Structure 1
Amino acid sequence: MNREKNNSILKIALVYVGTMVGAGFASGREIWQFFGVFGDNAVPGLVLTGLLFIAAGVMSGVIAKIKRTEDMGQVVCPWENKKLQQAIGWVIPIILFVIMVTMCAAMGSLFSQQFGGSKVLGGLLLVLLVTITLMGGFERMQKVFHGLVPVLIVVIIVTCIIVFIMDLPKGNIQAELVASPLTPNWLIASVLYISYCIVAVIPVMSTAANKTKSLKKAAAGPALGGAFLFLLSSLLCFAMMTDGGYAQAMDMPMLAFAEKIGPTAGIIYTVIMFIAIYASASGNFYGFTTKLKDDGKKGLKIAVFALIAFCLSTVGFKNIVAYGFPIMGCFGLVIFAMLTINFFKVFVFNYASTQEKHKYDFPEGAINVTTGHGGACLLFIGEDKTALIDCGNAYCGERLVEKIKSELKGRPLDYLFLSHTHFDHIGALPSLRKQWPNLIVAGAHHGKSVLEKQSALDAIKARGEEASQTYGIGETTPVTTDGMWIDMVVGDGDVIDLGGKEIHVLETTGHTKCSLTFVIEPMSLMLASESVGILDRRGMCHPTILSSFEESIASINKCREYGAKRIVVSHYGIVPESYNEKLWNLLEKESYTEKEIIEKAWAEGKTEDEILDIMTDRYVNDERLADQTFSAYEINMRCTIRLYKPKSMDS
């Protein structure tokens, strides 16, 4: 199932290379046209383009991963303008469609140059292969790249090295070195080349990044791919410069160079050209097909548009590279500039800056005693009473007790308030009762009844033992449910006075029927229940609606309307005060998005397991798994999926 998938850095790099190393690249035509034709000035052009290849891939992957989107408009556009995002979301696919036209022309040229055959046959064969591949979605395309691209890279490198070390005769056709009028110098050529390429980078790297489990891989994969591309382009350029007039004259210069080496080399490179055209056509056309509505007829649409691309390819491969690519590069230049601005906005000014802030950097008066993995445990010391809100996992109970004791300095712990009865928020309760037998545990009425059921206690213990095995290496606290009950029921509007500090209770159900939010006054510090959702360090929301969508939305609005100055989000920490209103809007929006995705999947006839895969790809990453075991996530997500299952499907 997809939840076991985790794109490696190398896999992402290979997808990147496979998408870029198409007919124009592998044939040498692009590299010669944009770099080789400038002689010694090819070197700075290649270096600049290599750096931009890395930058373009990394920026696309990082933005997509942080924003958790594959929509090209949202990845590129730095402004919250839906019309502009939609426009960009269509301009890029149109350019990618033109690239498919180019690949069809290239396959026709390959068949004609090598076999003396029909260009029509070559183009139609490409259409068939690409259509079959893309009907299998991104996963099938990735498998193709994983198998073919390493072969592609090796043959290109070996061919270039042989050209260097052999004293090959000059080609029988020579032409004057003339740059395209649209790329008169190396700087313009380099910038336009990467700008043209960027439109293929964005959709493929966005999809690949979102199938990783960490931001580091989403950045490292494209960076490695960009480095590979720099190496390959440099080798190709320098190999062709050994006979520049011949390279200028040929439609596919590297293929001609391979044939100068010998018939076998020519045949091998012909096969590589075929692979390159096929791989690049699949990668680029995939970006176009992401805009086609998946209404059960997407496969037919892919085939129809592929045929249209073939019909338009008859203008000729060489003409498209010389004139069409620079024109598309002008559009791409604008896209590249917007992508760069968006990267600085999303990563540098938003994500990266939040990383500098400690996860549990709470205001004075809220004492963080969190131990281990799971939800935060906050201690509040009043003039008369002391209170802890949530107590985390069972396996670190003894460490939690020691932390609390060091803060209380001889005073007892009077209250424990439970936000809800899940194991990672209540597990250490037995350790607390052992240390402070007079502890009063406060929770919701429904929570009290939950903890009176043996089945619930058994589930809490099972999840706690799993967490102990996963995260509690070296811990000695036994996992038990002894003493796990609620002494005092609290509900909406209740206020518990600690002396100088008050704990105000809000019933905020939706995650569970026992979920409570607590506000500490006069600090105006809200500890929001998981019914509103949780955040990750990217600042992105993960809905955690298990019992009721309507109640969760109502809980979000109740918390928003309270107007607390500082907000603590479960499994995240304190939210900057300036982020408050944006926070509630984000939480509500993502709750609706999750509901729509699941309902759409049910409507399309997908199974529960298939929907779980979809949601896992969207929400699970290394950071989330650091706080929650996968089995705990799966149990919760299946509850969510069933929550939105049409009643008619149960009959």
Structure 2
Amino acid sequence: MQKRTSKVLQIASTYMGTIVGAGFATGQEILQFFTRFGYWGTITIAFATVLFIWLGTKMMIIASEIRANSYEDLNKALFGDKYGRLISLFMLVILLGVTAVMLAGAGTIFYEHWNIAYQVGLLITMAGSFLLLRKGMKSILAVNAIVVPTMLLFTVFVMIHTFHTPGSAKFLTLSTDYSPWAALASPFLYTAFNLSLAQAVLVPLGAEIRDRKTIVMGSWLGGIGIGFMLLAGHIALSLHMPGIQQFAIPMGGIARQLGQYVQFIYMFLIFAEIFTTLIANIYGLTLQLKERTSWSREWLTIAVLLLCYLASQIGFGPLLSTLYPLFGLISLGWLILMIRRRVTFRNS
């Protein structure tokens, strides 16, 4: 029982840590996908939470059922062998780009908030990633076991502060000029984008677990945790609408009001969330590349880091604005096939 509980917590923390990346932690994703739709935001967050619970569970169960070695095996099961290979190749390129975005984001934090040169920040992040990834999945589980509870505590702190502020119920009455149809589409777009990215680490994680109940319980706990943090961020951002939209890091604007030390902790958490997403993506990429080459995992990790380093010279902003919309297009088709796929998992 104790072993199952430990596995459940590992799945939940890894799920949350993979989804709660830089865009989530900064508040930009919450603002763009939920808060700008006013009172609809609370309803759409509930939809997104259901999708995260349902499809996150489904993804890991399929991975366990087919004994997937990488996300390419999952895509073959969803798209068929021929198209699965093409989709996986496309995702390989995009994941490299997204990983470069994460690395560039880490370098930007070093430069803009800690007065350390951008290039030095990149090299420090790369060195930390390489050392941790030598331990494989264990390193991802260990990092998320620290970062996710800390992020949850910070989220609870912000939520308590918000409820003690006049007008804290603004999220229930906040008006919007956007169509209800645009609001209802947002949870599908949000979960499609994030789950298609998360498969790089959730597929190999699910493949390691042979017990259905452990996967289901871990996914439920992780999905609920994601929903809770989305709601807490939405409530806090709604209180400061519409002015909060002018900030590049909206949650940073809220953290600044809570004091210098809180703001420092928050910036460290943003870096930690970027870092967890970075190592998760690199791990998934190396598993995928290992099926296509004869290189060792360590040399593949070095190759991926070097490619991302070269791409990160373009800069955080240009990479983000170019690659994310492109990846969002394929994510919707992937989500539809995930919904349609039937699961016939056998208990072992």
Structure-1 residue corresponding to 2:195: 198
Structure-1 residue corresponding to 2:215: 218
C-alpha displacement of 1:322: 5.4
Structure-2 residue corresponding to 1:75: 74
More strand by share: 1
Alpha-carbon distance in structure 1 between the residues aligned to 2:117 and 2:32: 26
Contact 2:17 2:273 in 1 (8 A): yes
Structure 1 residues 22 and 79: alpha-carbon distance in aligned structure 2, compared to 1, 3 A threshold: closer
Contact 2:13 2:148 in 1 (8 A): yes
Contact 1:108 1:120 in 2 (8 A): yes
Contact 2:71 2:288 in 1 (8 A): no
Structure 1 residues 311 and 251: alpha-carbon distance in aligned structure 2, compared to 1, 3 A threshold: farther
Contact 1:35 1:189 in 2 (8 A): yes
Aligned 1:112-261 pairs, distance under 5 A? 112-166=111-165, 185-261=182-258
The residue type paired with residue 122 of structure 2 is: G
C-alpha displacement of 1:44: 2.4
Contact 2:107 2:120 in 1 (8 A): yes
Structure 1 residues 247 and 306: alpha-carbon distance in aligned structure 2, compared to 1, 3 A threshold: farther
C-alpha displacement of 1:209: 2.0
The residue type paired with residue 66 of structure 2 is: K
Structure 1 residues 341 and 74: alpha-carbon distance in aligned structure 2, compared to 1, 3 A threshold: farther
Structure 1 residues 305 and 153: alpha-carbon distance in aligned structure 2, compared to 1, 3 A threshold: same
Structure-1 residue corresponding to 2:9: 10
Structure-1 residue corresponding to 2:170: none
Per the normalisation by structure 1, the TM-score is 0.48
Contact 1:93 1:287 in 2 (8 A): no
Higher relative contact order (CA 8 A, sep 6+): 2
Structure 1 residues 315 and 31: alpha-carbon distance in aligned structure 2, compared to 1, 3 A threshold: farther
Structure 1 residues 296 and 324: alpha-carbon distance in aligned structure 2, compared to 1, 3 A threshold: closer
C-alpha displacement of 1:15: 0.6
Structure 1 residues 124 and 29: alpha-carbon distance in aligned structure 2, compared to 1, 3 A threshold: farther
The residue type paired with residue 264 of structure 1 is: Y
Alpha-carbon distance in structure 1 between the residues aligned to 2:107 and 2:163: 29
Contact 2:78 2:337 in 1 (8 A): no
The residue type paired with residue 226 of structure 1 is: G
Q: RMSD in angstroms over aligned alpha carbons?
A: 2.9
Aligned 1:196-595 pairs, distance under 5 A? 196-293=193-290, 295=294, 297-318=296-317, 324-342=323-341, 344=342, 346-347=343-344, 351=345, 537=346
Per the normalisation by structure 2, the TM-score is 0.85
Structure-2 residue corresponding to 1:48: 47
Contact 1:195 1:329 in 2 (8 A): yes
Structure 1: gaps spanning 5 or more residues: 169-176, 352-536, 539-622, 624-651
Alpha-carbon distance in structure 2 between the residues aligned to 1:318 and 1:250: 14
Structure 1 residues 69 and 204: alpha-carbon distance in aligned structure 2, compared to 1, 3 A threshold: same
The residue type paired with residue 58 of structure 1 is: T
Structure 1 residues 5 and 191: alpha-carbon distance in aligned structure 2, compared to 1, 3 A threshold: closer
C-alpha displacement of 1:218: 1.8
More helix by share: 2
C-alpha displacement of 1:331: 0.8
Structure 1 residues 285 and 251: alpha-carbon distance in aligned structure 2, compared to 1, 3 A threshold: farther
How far does the alpha carbon of each residue in 1:29-61 deviate from its partner, in whole angstroms, 9 at most, with x for none?
A: 111122122222212221221111112211111
Alpha-carbon distance in structure 2 between the residues aligned to 1:245 and 1:105: 29
Contact 1:22 1:276 in 2 (8 A): yes
Structure-2 residue corresponding to 1:381: none
C-alpha displacement of 1:121: 3.0
C-alpha displacement of 1:277: 1.2
Contact 2:64 2:210 in 1 (8 A): no
The residue type paired with residue 237 of structure 2 is: M
Contact 2:76 2:85 in 1 (8 A): no
The residue type paired with residue 66 of structure 1 is: E
Q: Which structure's CA Rg is the greater one?
A: 1
Structure-2 residue corresponding to 1:389: none
Alpha-carbon distance in structure 2 between the residues aligned to 1:333 and 1:263: 41
How far does the alpha carbon of each residue in 1:493-513 deviate from its partner, in whole angstroms, 9 at most, with x for none?
A: xxxxxxxxxxxxxxxxxxxxx
Contact 2:111 2:117 in 1 (8 A): yes
Structure-1 residue corresponding to 2:93: 94
Contact 1:9 1:220 in 2 (8 A): yes
Alpha-carbon distance in structure 2 between the residues aligned to 1:286 and 1:144: 13
C-alpha displacement of 1:320: 5.2
Alpha-carbon distance in structure 2 between the residues aligned to 1:80 and 1:332: 13
Alpha-carbon distance in structure 1 between the residues aligned to 2:79 and 2:258: 55
Contact 2:78 2:338 in 1 (8 A): no
C-alpha displacement of 1:280: 1.6
Structure 1 residues 119 and 8: alpha-carbon distance in aligned structure 2, compared to 1, 3 A threshold: same
Identical positions, percent: 23
Contact 1:134 1:286 in 2 (8 A): yes
Contact 2:252 2:266 in 1 (8 A): yes
Alpha-carbon distance in structure 2 between the residues aligned to 1:255 and 1:327: 27
C-alpha displacement of 1:167: 6.1
Structure 1 residues 269 and 225: alpha-carbon distance in aligned structure 2, compared to 1, 3 A threshold: same
C-alpha displacement of 1:212: 2.3
Alpha-carbon distance in structure 2 between the residues aligned to 1:92 and 1:7: 31
Structure 1 residues 296 and 310: alpha-carbon distance in aligned structure 2, compared to 1, 3 A threshold: closer
Structure-2 residue corresponding to 1:106: 105
How far does the alpha carbon of each residue in 1:105-158 deviate from its partner, in whole angstroms, 9 at most, with x for none?
A: 322332343234433333332222222222221122212222332122212321
Structure 1 residues 165 and 190: alpha-carbon distance in aligned structure 2, compared to 1, 3 A threshold: same
Contact 1:195 1:330 in 2 (8 A): no
Alpha-carbon distance in structure 1 between the residues aligned to 2:48 and 2:39: 15
C-alpha displacement of 1:333: 1.0
Structure 2: gaps spanning 5 or more residues: 168-175
SS at match of 2:160: helix
Structure 1 residues 162 and 6: alpha-carbon distance in aligned structure 2, compared to 1, 3 A threshold: closer
Structure 1 residues 299 and 5: alpha-carbon distance in aligned structure 2, compared to 1, 3 A threshold: farther
Contact 1:30 1:321 in 2 (8 A): no
SS at match of 1:197: helix
The residue type paired with residue 207 of structure 2 is: N
How far does the alpha carbon of each residue in 1:150-190 deviate from its partner, in whole angstroms, 9 at most, with x for none?
A: 1222123213332442469xxxxxxxx999xxxx9323332
Contact 2:27 2:233 in 1 (8 A): yes
How far does the alpha carbon of each residue in 1:414-463 deviate from its partner, in whole angstroms, 9 at most, with x for none?
A: xxxxxxxxxxxxxxxxxxxxxxxxxxxxxxxxxxxxxxxxxxxxxxxxxx
Contact 1:153 1:232 in 2 (8 A): yes
C-alpha displacement of 1:258: 0.8
